Structure 1
């Protein structure tokens, strides 16, 4: 049995390690806040959410498949949580069935029978949930899952399993056949179905088939050991087959827990954002080839989750006939530039994970991966300078990125003088664009922004953080050419209470 809730026709490789860029992505985008909202301090849900978010889907149809399952889970949260809790409880119950210290076929069979009886009860509950709620779900993923349960877990299956489990308890003893091999050594041991016991008529008339019986004398330890070995040989194949069946059912519930866990985590974040009145939407994924980013009311969900009230969103239109592969953001300090960059990165990751997006509307082409390159604090141990450290991280990104990727730069290469930093950044951005990589760049380097404007005036979007005449920041971005000032005098006046000299 397969759940197939995250992919239409395959399982997720949960054993694979997260991509090497994951720590930088988590740090630069503030992803920990979103993961906390999705997990509620549940380490398992956090791990599942992180693994899915950092391995983006690259096909629009795959993304829509997950979106539709998530819509079902949002609309029928109680049922989704009930299914998830059943998987959690079943796995925990299996772990509490302790094996015998003696790893013998009989002990394996005994534990497997107990586990299978527990699994059968859990599968009955699963079938009952399906019978009660299957008609409520509309997504291809959930309907296929419920159809699978109906086909695999019918009444005949449960009757057959119950019958086999009763026999495998061997309350009337074990019947084993064997043949004599060379040297009168037993061989070809086969477990046989026990003969039905005599009925009441046979007992009255004593019409019982004769049989040969041998009783072990008391204290015959050698004979008891030999008899136990014969019994183990007989039940060995049955014990192995039943243990494999238990492993199969356990793996099903383990996979179901992980796949449903992702959707349960998404619902938690969805409810927290909508509960405070923030807009969310299911984005429109576009096929790769033409870089597009169009959004309405896009905001940083992590910033919103850390604050009591709502946060400011932005409307962006980075699309034309040939696509817009470069977005450059300049403007006033503390005007919302870095927040916008994080919002774009989070929206891309969430969209390609099959999640909702923190915006009123969002449309973008799929990317092979999302990389970040943000400024860092000075190395406390002075192992290297900030500029050397930035170049080293950029080299690591260059080693892993492929055509169709996406890079988010936040005040990169500003650790050296403006002329040198601008020259390095221009060459890197040019190389990335030539390779089909989408670039979103936040910078206060006027030389860099002005140079990009001259070269990419027709195929790039230039945004500027809005500042009113009195110095107030609105935290909104509007299209505008770069200016040679970031209005640092506003910060000086705010800190020192006097105009900048």
Structure 2
């Protein structure tokens, strides 16, 4: 049995290898804030969310739309999804409770434990089938339609009747029938459990025969009441006979357990998404399901896009931005200090990841091409342990990014935040220009936040049809609107505004 709620044709792997730059993405995009809000202090939800989002780069359009459809069903029926999730938790708790410790290595203990667990699984599987029979028509996504159809087909009445019959037989209320062969030294070998012949006599007839017919089998024997060694030997013979059956039943139990584990994992992602949806809806933030485009296209078009992590930290609605970049693979962002440039860059990276893992995004509308690689190159704070200068460190990180992006460079999105500004503007602009030119030649999409006027103005003067230039808006009095507008790069970042803001109180006091 398969859940198939994350992919059409395969299971979601909670332990798959994450991209090499997952730590940089987590730090630069502040992903821990997002994971925490989705998990609501549930470690398992946190781990699933982290794995799903960070491994999403490379998902194709069909996978994204498949998950979107499943998520929409989950948002329509949150209580029912939580009920199914609770069933998976209860099933795994049954398995944990049936632990025999030291004795679990013996066939008899393995068999007894498997019978106990499987009996519990029968109850939870029946609950799932009942939900499928009563609620399936409320769901529209391919994922849930397939899932419920599988439950109705696989978990039939005949299936449960057969399980119950096997479990009844494996309790061996009438003893065990075992065959064996003599091996070297007259030792027993090839022990095989045989099915007991089914008697068609009434139980009262069998009882009377046991009372009045005293003749014993020529090969029978009776153990003395205190014959511990004989009892131990007989127990060992029984274990040899039931060993294959015990292992087979244990494997069957593990198979059903793995189904519940997969179902729990895949539902956990959608429950975490529902948690975030409820949070943002309560804050009256806009949410939309994005329209993904094929990776060969170059598009980023959105309205009221905002930084979801900032919104979660602030606890209220924040300013969003609009952009319509069709057939563009270079976005250069300049303008006033503390005008929202870095926040915008982060909102773009977050929305790209959220779209690619099948989630809604933090915007009124959003459409973008998928990518096979998402990379960030942000300035880092001074590190006293560094053995070289900041520029060397920046160039080393850039080299690592290029190496990581090599297999899918043409379909990558790279976000730069104040990169190569650790040296003078002329040298920094030259370094950045050479790197950007090389990446653009390979078809990489670049979004670059910079204060280097020489860099931004040089690209603006080239009148590139694939480039768009944004500027952080500043009103005449110096007020930041945190809106980005299309416009030519300016020479100043209006640092004097910050100076006045910081020192205005001292000036008022005559300082």
Question: After TM superposition, is the score higher than 0.5?
Answer: yes
Match of 2:85 in 1: 84
Deviates more, 1:93-102 or 1:360-369: 93-102
1:211, distance to aligned residue in structure 2 (A):
5.5
User: Structure 2: any 5+ residue segments left out of the alignment?
Assistant: none
Q: Secondary structure at the match of 2:265?
A: helix
Matched, 1:30 2:30: yes
Q: Is the 8 A contact 1:26 1:32 kept in 2?
A: yes
Q: Secondary structure at the match of 2:469?
A: strand
Match of 2:73 in 1: 72
1:78, distance to aligned residue in structure 2 (A):
0.7
The runs of at least 4 consecutive aligned structure 1 residues that moved more than 6 Å come to: 207-210
RMSD of equivalent CA atoms:
1.8
Match of 1:219 in 2: 226
How far apart are the structure 2 equivalents of 1:50 and 1:204? 64
Deviates more, 1:210-219 or 1:15-24: 210-219
1:203, distance to aligned residue in structure 2 (A):
4.2
Match of 1:439 in 2: 446
Q: Is the 8 A contact 1:284 1:364 kept in 2?
A: yes
How far apart are the structure 1 equivalents of 2:376 and 2:462? 23
Deviates more, 1:438-447 or 1:178-187: 178-187
Q: Secondary structure at the match of 1:310?
A: coil
Deviations 1:61-99 (Å, cap 9, x if unpaired)? 111000000000011111111111211222122112112
1:437, distance to aligned residue in structure 2 (A):
1.0
Match of 2:402 in 1: 398
Match of 2:369 in 1: 365
Match of 2:329 in 1: 325
Q: Secondary structure at the match of 1:235?
A: helix
How far apart are the structure 1 equivalents of 2:335 and 2:216? 98
Q: Is the 8 A contact 1:332 1:485 kept in 2?
A: yes
Match of 2:236 in 1: 229
Matched, 1:199 2:206: no
Deviations 1:371-412 (Å, cap 9, x if unpaired)? 111111100334332212211111111110122011100111
Any residues of structure 2 matched to 1:364-383 within 5 Å, and which? Answer: 364-383=368-387
Q: Secondary structure at the match of 1:486?
A: coil
Deviations 1:295-351 (Å, cap 9, x if unpaired)? 0110111111111320011110110xxx10011111111111001000100010000
Matched, 1:107 2:109: yes
How far apart are the structure 1 equivalents of 2:225 and 2:84? 53
Deviations 1:262-286 (Å, cap 9, x if unpaired)? 0110111011111111111110010
Q: Is the 8 A contact 2:328 2:465 kept in 1?
A: no
How far apart are the structure 1 equivalents of 2:42 and 2:262? 17
How far apart are the structure 1 equivalents of 2:259 and 2:227? 46
Q: Is the 8 A contact 1:379 1:385 kept in 2?
A: no
1:196, distance to aligned residue in structure 2 (A):
4.2
How far apart are the structure 2 equivalents of 1:137 and 1:42? 27
* Equivalent pairs, count: 496
Match of 1:388 in 2: 392
Q: Is the 8 A contact 1:100 1:107 kept in 2?
A: no
Q: Secondary structure at the match of 2:44?
A: helix
1:100, distance to aligned residue in structure 2 (A):
4.0
Q: Is the 8 A contact 1:5 1:142 kept in 2?
A: yes
Q: Is the 8 A contact 1:175 1:194 kept in 2?
A: yes
Match of 2:9 in 1: 9
Matched, 1:133 2:127: no
How far apart are the structure 1 equivalents of 2:368 and 2:488? 24
Deviates more, 1:204-213 or 1:348-357: 204-213
Q: Secondary structure at the match of 1:381?
A: coil
Q: Secondary structure at the match of 1:474?
A: strand
Pairing partner for 2:347 from 336, 343, 350 = 343
User: Structure 1: any 5+ residue segments left out of the alignment?
Assistant: none
1:11, distance to aligned residue in structure 2 (A):
1.5
Pairing partner for 1:171 from 164, 173, 179 = 173
1:205, distance to aligned residue in structure 2 (A):
5.9
1:163, distance to aligned residue in structure 2 (A):
1.1
TM score, norm. by length of structure 1: 0.95
How far apart are the structure 2 equivalents of 1:28 and 1:191? 62
Pairing partner for 2:121 from 97, 104, 119 = 119
How far apart are the structure 1 equivalents of 2:207 and 2:113? 38
TM score, norm. by length of structure 2: 0.93
Match of 2:305 in 1: 298
Specify whether residues 358 and 211 from structure 1 end up closer, same or farther in structure 2 by C-alpha distance, changes over 3 A only.
farther
